[in-house]
């Protein structure tokens, strides 16, 4: 058997947001590799081997997956959302780059998934209709001053900003610091959306102004969207307002 490694994303949660290609790759795999919480979302068959690991061991997990592929297994490496967005695909390539030359000959495929930013934006309306960027607020893999510098640059440049890893138990205070920094740059009325556990039974959407945005509305399953000066709300009677960014700005 010739080995194969597929890095795929499960989407934000619901089965309908898993692509048919990713579902087919899961069905064809002999071995499923991933963070426990993501593998728990996959119906693993009796003839498939599950290799669940803890969070934060991405590189070890990637190397283990590459070794399995080299042994001839059909390996699916599973991420939430899209595997290329703050997830396993880069860890696999970091491992290949630093690993034995033979790993470069392996059959490696990356299959896209619906990332949290897109799922959250669709629920809210169309906040990404003009220029936007995505950032991880975590300082696990970059220094905190770099996070603040990029955030300020993106806000000053007029981008809508999608913040991944906005808050965790280990980093309870950084989102508050980030919001304070943004208040020096953006109008107080700038909309801020907290999209939590999108696609799950406990999904929650909160919309606030930048002036009133409460970091306690975020946890480790929250995508925070910071509007641009053009981002606005369309109020609706008895329903959550739509959040959108017009397609263009005046010259
Ligand atoms: N690869 C994933 C992102 C991994 S980083 C993707 O493409 O979506 C983990 C962060 O993603 C979380 O801290 C949160 O900010 C965001 N996230 C993941 N799933 C989410 C969901 N269902 N709803 C809202 N945000 C989510």
Give DSSP secondary structure letters for the chain.
---EEEEEE-BSS-GGGS-HHHHHHHHH-SEEEEEHHHHTTS---TTSEEEEE-TT-HHHHHHHHHHHHHTT-EEEEEESB-TTSSSHHHHHHHHHHHS-GGGGGS-EEEE----HHHHHHHHHEETTSS-EEEEE---SSS-HHHHHHHHHHHHHTT-EEEEES---SS-SSHHHHHHHHHHTTS-TT-EEEEEESTTSTT-EEEEEETTT--GGG--TTEEEEE--TT-EEEEETTEEEEEE--S----
> Nearest C-alpha to atom 15 of ligand 1 is from which residue?
164
pLDDT score at 241: 97
The percent of residues in the chain predicted with pLDDT above 90, rounded, is 97
Question: 8 pLDDT band (50/70/90 cuts)?
Answer: very high
Indicate if the pLDDT at residue 213 is higher than 80.
yes
What is the biggest distance separating any 2 CA atoms in the chain, rounded to whole angstroms? 62
The mean pLDDT value of the chain amounts to 97
For residue 75, give the nearest of 113, 132, 120, 25 by alpha carbon.
25
- Closest atom, ligand 1, to C-alpha of 79: 1
Give every CB contact of residue 12 below 8 A, 6+ residues apart in sequence.
80, 81, 114, 115, 116, 119, 120, 198, 199, 200
Q: Is the CB of 205 under 6 A from ligand 1?
A: no
The pTM score is: 0.96
pLDDT score at 1: 62
Residue predicted with more confidence, 130 or 54: 130
Q: Is the CB of 168 under 6 A from ligand 1?
A: no
Indicate if the pLDDT at residue 183 is higher than 80.
yes
Q: What is the mean pLDDT of residues 23-40?
A: 96
pLDDT score at 156: 98
Give the tokens for residue 250: 């005046």
State in Å, rounded, how far the first CA of the chain is from the last one: 60
Q: Is the CB of 84 under 6 A from ligand 1?
A: no
Q: Is the CB of 138 under 6 A from ligand 1?
A: no
Bridge partners (DSSP) listed for residue 242:
234
Mutation pick for ligand 1 pocket among 7, 38, 80 (CB with most ligand atoms within 8 Å): 80
Q: Is the CB of 195 under 6 A from ligand 1?
A: yes
Q: Is the CB of 12 under 6 A from ligand 1?
A: yes
d(CA 223, CA 126): 15
pLDDT score at 250: 87
Give the tokens for residue 54: 């803890």
For residue 129, give the nearest of 4, 250, 243 by alpha carbon.
243
Residue 172 phi/psi, 5-degree rounding, is: -75, -20
């Amino acid at each position: 058997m010739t080995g194969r490694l597929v890095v795929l994303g499960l989407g934000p949660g619901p089965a309908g947001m898993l692509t048919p290609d990713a579902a087919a790759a899961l069905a064809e795999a002999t071995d499923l590799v991933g963070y426990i919480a993501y593998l728990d979302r996959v119906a693993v068959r009796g003839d498939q081997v599950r290799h669940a690991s803890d969070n934060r061991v991405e590189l070890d997990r990637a190397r283990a997956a590459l070794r399995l592929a080299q042994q001839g297994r059909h390996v699916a490496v599973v991420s939430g959302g899209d595997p290329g967005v703050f997830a396993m695909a880069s860890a696999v390539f970091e491992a290949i780059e630093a690993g034995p030359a033979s790993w470069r000959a392996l059959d490696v495929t990356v299959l896209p998934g619906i990332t949290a930013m897109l799922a959250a934006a669709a629920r809210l309306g169309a906040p990404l209709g003009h220029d936007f960027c995505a950032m991880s607020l975590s300082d696990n893999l970059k220094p905190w001053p770099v996070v603040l510098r990029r955030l300020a640059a993106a806000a000053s440049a007029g981008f809508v900003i999608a913040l991944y890893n906005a808050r965790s138990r280990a980093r309870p205070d950084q989102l508050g610091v980030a919001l304070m920094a943004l208040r020096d740059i953006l109008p107080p009325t700038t909309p801020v959306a907290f999209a939590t556990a999108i696609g799950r039974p406990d999904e929650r959407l909160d919309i606030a102004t930048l002036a009133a945005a409460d970091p306690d509305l975020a946890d480790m399953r929250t995508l925070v969207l910071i509007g641009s000066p053009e981002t606005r709300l369309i109020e609706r009677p008895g329903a959550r307002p739509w959040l959108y960014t017009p397609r263009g700005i005046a010259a």
